């Protein structure tokens, strides 16, 4: 939206944009098809919390290969024994960069709550703790969060189903009384994923060092 406003205000340098686009196009033209070999693939383990891990692993491995491909002029070109096929190898830094760029994606794929529901839960938990509400009703939450009634009811129903909040009293006609459950927070999930990524990267770096010593 900021871009749209600046564009209307004549603050966008379109010539500079075109120059960057032209440079990127030429960079891509300079790249040549080449085989990628990732010796570290067996060491890459994604978090166990992932939903649909096979598809995510395929995405991650392909992304690592893309990073390696774009560094083809910084890597030694090798040949398979008895073959003319040329290849380049993935480095530990390629895998580390892939984890860095896809970390937020991995966190989202490990979260059983979708983004809007997770955002609502974090706001809910923050306001409940801030105002010291041991129990609360939907009307209490509407005082602090500007959410339409139907949307609020949907979120509360979903969080109840996932076990993030619990109905302890009330009726549908008069309104339910809720309390927070001891569920994992976004920060806790991020910390868990970060620790897992760090462990995997360290294993790969050690493996790379051993390969360097044997070379």
Give the pLDDT confidence score for residue 73 in this predicted structure.
94
Query: In terms of domains, do 197 and 140 share one?
Result: no
Block mean pLDDT (10 aa), the chain, length 215:
94 94 93 95 92 90 97 93 91 96 92 93 93 90 89 95 93 89 91 95 94 76
Query: In terms of domains, do 47 and 92 share one?
Result: yes
Query: In terms of domains, do 104 and 123 share one?
Result: no
Give the pLDDT confidence score for residue 137 in this predicted structure.
92
pTM flag (> 0.85): no
Query: In terms of domains, do 122 and 81 share one?
Result: no
> Can you give the chain as a three-state secondary structure string?
CHHHHHHHCCCCCHHHHHHHHHHHHHHHHHCCCCEEECCCHHHCCCCCCCCCHHHHHHHHHHHHHHHHHHCHHHCCCEECCCCCCEEEECCHHHHHHHHHHHHHHHHHHHCCCCHHHHHHHHHHHHHHHHCCCCCECHHHHHHHCCCCHHHHHHHHHHHHHHCCEEEEEEECCCEEEEEECCCCCHHHHHHHHHHHHHHHHHHHHHHHHHHHHHC
Q: Is residue 126 part of a domain?
A: yes
Query: In terms of domains, do 36 and 95 share one?
Result: yes
Sign of the dihedral through C-alpha 61, 105, 156, 164 = positive
- Looking up residue 138, the CATH number of its domain turns out to be 1.10.10.10
Q: Is residue 71 part of a domain?
A: yes
Q: Is residue 158 part of a domain?
A: yes
Give the pLDDT confidence score for residue 215 in this predicted structure.
64
Query: In terms of domains, do 198 and 172 share one?
Result: no
Q: How many domains does the chain have?
A: 2
**Domain of 37?**
31-110+187-214
Q: Is residue 41 part of a domain?
A: yes
Q: Is residue 196 part of a domain?
A: yes
Query: In terms of domains, do 176 and 194 share one?
Result: no
Query: In terms of domains, do 82 and 139 share one?
Result: no
Q: Is residue 62 part of a domain?
A: yes
Residue with tokens 């051993």: 210
- For 143, other C-beta atoms within 10 Å of its C-beta total 10
């Amino acid at each position: 939206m900021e871009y749209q406003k600046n564009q209307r205000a004549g603050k966008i340098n379109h010539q500079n944009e075109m120059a960057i686009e032209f440079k990127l196009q030429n960079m891509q033209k300079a790249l040549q098809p080449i085989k990628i070999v990732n010796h570290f693939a067996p060491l890459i383990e994604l978090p166990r919390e992932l939903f649909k891990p096979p598809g995510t692993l395929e995405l991650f491995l392909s992304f690592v290969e893309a990073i390696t491909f774009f560094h083809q002029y910084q890597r030694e070109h090798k040949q398979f024994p008895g073959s003319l096929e040329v290849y380049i190898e993935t480095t530990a830094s390629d895998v580390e960069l892939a984890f860095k760029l896809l970390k937020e994606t991995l966190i989202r794929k490990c979260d059983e709550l979708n983004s809007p529901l997770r955002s609502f839960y974090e706001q809910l938990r923050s306001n409940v703790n801030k105002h010291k509400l041991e129990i609360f009703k939907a009307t209490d939450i509407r005082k602090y969060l500007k959410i339409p009634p139907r949307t609020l009811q949907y979120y509360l129903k979903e969080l109840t189903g996932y076990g993030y909040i619990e109905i302890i009293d009330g009726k549908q006609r008069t309104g339910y009384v809720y309390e927070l459950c001891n569920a994992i927070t976004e920060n806790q999930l991020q910390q868990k994923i970060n620790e897992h990524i760090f462990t995997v990267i360290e294993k790969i770096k050690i493996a790379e060092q051993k390969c360097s010593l044997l070379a």
